[in-house]
Amino acid sequence: MKNNKWILLPLMATLAFSGCSKTSEAEATEDVIPEVTAEAIMENTELTLEEQVSALMDTMTIEEKIGQLLMCDFRTNADGTPMTELSETAAEAIANYNLGGVVLFAENLDTAEQTKTLISDIKALSDIPMFIGVDEEGGLVSRLNKSEIPHEVIPDAATLGTVEEVSRVGTVIGETLFDLGFNVDFAPVADVNTNPENTVIGTRAYSSDPFFAADMVGAFVEAIQETGVYGCVKHFPGHGDTAGDSHDGSVYVDHDLERLELVEFLPFKEGIAAGVKFVMVGHIQTPNATSDHLPATLSKESVDLLRNNLGYDGIVITDAMNMQAIVQYYGAGEACVMSILAGVDIVLMPEDYHEAYAALLEAYDTGRLTEERVDESLVRILSEKMTIDL
C-alpha cells in the first residue's frame, strides 16, 4: 500500500475510535499506518468521494487495477450445462483476476431466488463492489423472458409511443433488476433505425426520427437510474444505419461527422444529458468521420468524439468483444489492449479473459500501457461503484 497519509489519517482516526483498529494507544501516537481495507475506506464518511477513491486506489496493485477493467460472462459450466450456481471456474477467475464485473445471460437465470443467490455469491468474491450487468431491453432482447422469474413482459421499444410509457417501462425494468441484485442494465438502445435492411437493431430502437428517439432515451435513462440500476446507452456512434451485424463480421456506416452529429448522436446526447452512467461503443467503423479505419471499440478517434464532441466523462464500455467483428481480425489480447489505449474504461466479454488479462499486464510491463492511463479509467469506475447500492 502506498503511503498517502493525508488521505488515510481521517480514516485511521475513525477506525481507532470505533474500536476497529488493533493498534494500541501507545502505537497510535507513533507514525504507524495500519492496514486499511476497501470496506473501511468506503464506509468512512469523513472522506469525500474523491478522497475515498484515491485512498482505495492507493491500496491496489497494478494487477488489481487491471482486473477492474474487465467485465466477463460465465454462461456455462465445464460440461456445457447452464451455470445457474457459481462454478469453481468462474469463482477462481473472478477472485484471481480481480474482475470488475460480470454480465449474466439467460443461461444463468432460472428462478428469482436462484438468481439472487448467484449474484450474491459473485459479489462476495470481491472486496471492491462489482458491476453485475444484464441485457434487459424488453421485447426482442430480454433475458428475463427466458427464465421463471416473475416479471412484466415488456414490448419492443418501437411500440412505445410516449415519454410517460417509456418512463414507466424504465421504472418497471429497473425495480425488477434491482430486486434481483443487478446494478447495470445494458439499455436503452440509442440507435436511430434509419435503415430498413438493418437486421440487428430494427424494433429494438425507439424510432427512425432522431428527435423522438432522443426523448425516449432520456426518459428511460432517468427512470431506470432512479431505481438504483445504472443505464447504458448503446451502440455509439450509432448502429441504426448499418446493413450488417457486428455479431457476424465487420460493419460500417458511410456518414460523415456532420450527418452523425445531426442524426445518430442526438439520442446519445440526450442520454448523457439525463446523466447516464455507461455508454457502450459498438464495433462500427466510420470511414468518413474517422481516419483510423478501426471499429469504434478500438478507435481513439471514436472515443474522443464521445468524450469531446458529446462531452461525456462517464464510463465507456465496449460491446461484447467476442463478436466476429473483433474475433475475425484481432486477437482477444490485442483487442483488449487497443480498447484501453483508445480510452475505453471497461472491456466487456473478451473472447478469452485469460489472454485479455495477460495482454494488459504485458502491455503495462513493456511500457505500452501506463499506470496513469489505467488510473484514468479506475477513477471513473470506482467513483460510480461508491455511489450506488451495489
Going across the sheet that includes 347-348, the strands are: 184-185, 131-134, 101-104, 70-73, 347-348
| Bridge partners, 286 (sequence order) | none
DSSP category for residue 285: E
Q: Would residue 151 show up in a list of annotated catalytic residues for this protein? A: no
Sorted by sequence, the CB contacts under 8 Å of residue 163 that are 6+ apart come out as 215, 216, 219
Distance in angstroms (rounded) separating the CA atoms of residues 56 and 8: 10
Sorted by sequence, the CB contacts under 8 Å of residue 316 that are 6+ apart come out as 278, 279, 280, 281, 303, 306, 307, 343, 344, 345, 346
Grid-cell match 434487459, residue found: 136
CA distances from 97 to 79, 124, 125 (A): 23, 15, 11
From the number of C-beta atoms within 10 Å of its C-beta (0-12, 13-18, 19+), residue 245 rates as: middle
Q: What torsion, rounded to 10 degrees, do the Cα atoms 320, 325, 330, 333 define? A: 0
Q: Would residue 247 show up in a list of annotated catalytic residues for this protein? A: yes
Alpha-carbon dihedral sign for residues 346, 350, 354, 358: negative
Q: What torsion, rounded to 10 degrees, do the Cα atoms 224, 229, 230, 231 define? A: -40
Catalytic option among 247, 292, 352, 375: 247
The C-alpha cell of 336 is what? 483488449
Q: Residue 293, Cβ neighbours under 10 Å: how many?
A: 11
For 250, how many CA atoms within 13 A lie in the half-sphere containing its CB?
10
DSSP category for residue 74: -
Q: Residue 250, Cβ neighbours under 10 Å: how many?
A: 15
From the number of C-beta atoms within 10 Å of its C-beta (0-12, 13-18, 19+), residue 17 rates as: exposed
Catalytic (active-site) positions: 247, 319
